[in-house]
Copies of this chain bind each other. A is one copy, B any other.
Amino acid sequence: VARTRMVVVGGDAAGMSAAAQARKRRPPEELEIVAFERGRHTSYSACGLPYYAGDVVKDWRELVARTPEEHADQDIEVRTRHEVDAIDLEARRVRVRDLDGDRVVEEPWDVLVVATGSQPLRPPIAGIDLPGVHGLSVLEDGIELRRAVDAGPGRAVIVGGGYIGLEAAEALVRRGVPTALVEAAPQVMNRIDPDMGELVSQAVRDIGVELHLEEKVEAIEGDDRVRAVRTASRTLEADLVVLGLGTRPAVGLAESSGIRLGPSGAIAVNPRMQTPHDGVWAAGDCAESHHLVSGQPVSYHLGTIANKQGRVCGINIGGGYATFPGVLGTAVSKVCDVEVARTGLSEAELEELGLEWEQAVIDSTTRAGYFPGAAPIRTKVLADRRSGRLLGAQIVGKEGAAKRIDVFATAIWNRMNAQEMVNLDLSYAPPFSPVWDPVLIAVRKLAEQVERSLGDRL
């Protein structure tokens, strides 16, 4: 039998999960696996980068789940500092640039996995390329930012109030750097509804971040390095700027090679993670997902999805059978002691889909009210107006609040409605929840709301 050659483009979560799963099923005699990674590192936790910058995690090596050497031990060859800059779908070759030696070679493949990830949005703002302006996307970014923070900057400005921006703000404040955050939208974390987002904005202010909402950055100023960030309303001094403006799928290579993109802008794949091109697969941030509530194609950039898609891809390449059914948009984060989580669709997303919904917002506690350490938890739930089917949930609260989002995610996955959820047999003991868990209090109120509205409208 001829030996098959699997080439992986991108050595992080999705690509290396695919490699590992394929290897598990097919021995080196049958399947050769080579991965090309532009950076110096493989299989690391990008989500851990803000915590490394903030000195919560002491050594960046802890963020690396598997080094190139460890992959080599599994008969997976990884060539770091090697960038694939062209894919020939006909000849089944990739062109690879050695970033250190500056050599270019052509490498053949029988099976290709495109796992190029995502890249930070860098709008054309004057000065965005000045030294002192940091992204926080790959491990090298985290190492550089940590070094910059260690040097003791006088002031920092974060541009963008999404997860990365907020986690970076917390890290800087933690390190004693006076920090401002500029966000163009009226709230931070705009994937949750404004009423819930307000609680997060307050938490950001409470930890001492100077928060400027509804202000767009017009320019980053400085000569040989960054000196300030300018908005329409003010100029904020800064020795250090962190960009957290969101990400987009890194599909430049795919696009220029003729690989088909889906409506979300990410690479189109079927549930087995195959592209329409023979022998070509894609997984992770660069690959499209199906949203299980909206039914729409989406491009989310999360480690969980990347790992799962990589696993499915690798099982299929290895001769097994697996599918990736889709996503709910579940996410969790924290700003110091305030936890935030969401799953399903927000009001803005429902509005855009033309759906009508009922909602409930409730305040409760993470433990029995009388139990020491009982912390506040606000829960918002959204249901289809007619059927009561749960469409989305959001949680903002303190220690122990946010992980409850997983119950909502599991319920939405199973298309449960609020009425049925009320009776869910969830666990209770005073150190863990009130006798009616906040999840149940929320859906109980939501079910009543759905019933009332049906009665009113019929």
Query: Hey, which bits of chain A sit against chain B, CB under 8 A?
Result: 13, 45, 47-48, 51, 56-57, 62-63, 163, 292, 302-305, 307-308, 312, 324-334, 339, 341, 343, 368-372, 400, 402-407, 409-411, 413-414, 416, 420, 422-433, 435-437, 439
Contacts and interface: CB of A to CB of B under 8 A. Distances in A.
Number of this chain's copies in the complex: 2
B302 A428 contact: yes
Contacts of A370: 45, 48, 57, 62-63
B403 A432 contact: yes
A368 B331 CA distance: 15
A125 B74 CA distance: 62
B424 A402 contact: no
Nearest to A421: B410
Given A62-B370, A304-B425, A334-B429, 8 more contacts: A51-B430, A303-B435, A305-B425, A325-B420, A330-B426, A343-B425, A402-B432, A403-B427
A292 B420 CA distance: 14
A436 B406 CA distance: 13
Contacts of A420: 325
Contacts of A292: 425
Contact of A426 (B51, B409, B411, B436): B409
Given A429-B334, A431-B334, A371 B56 contact: yes
A333 B423 CA distance: 20
Given A405-B427, A425-B328, A435 B56 contact: no
B409 A406 contact: no
Contacts of A403: 400, 403-404, 427, 432-433
Contacts of A304: 425-428, 435-436
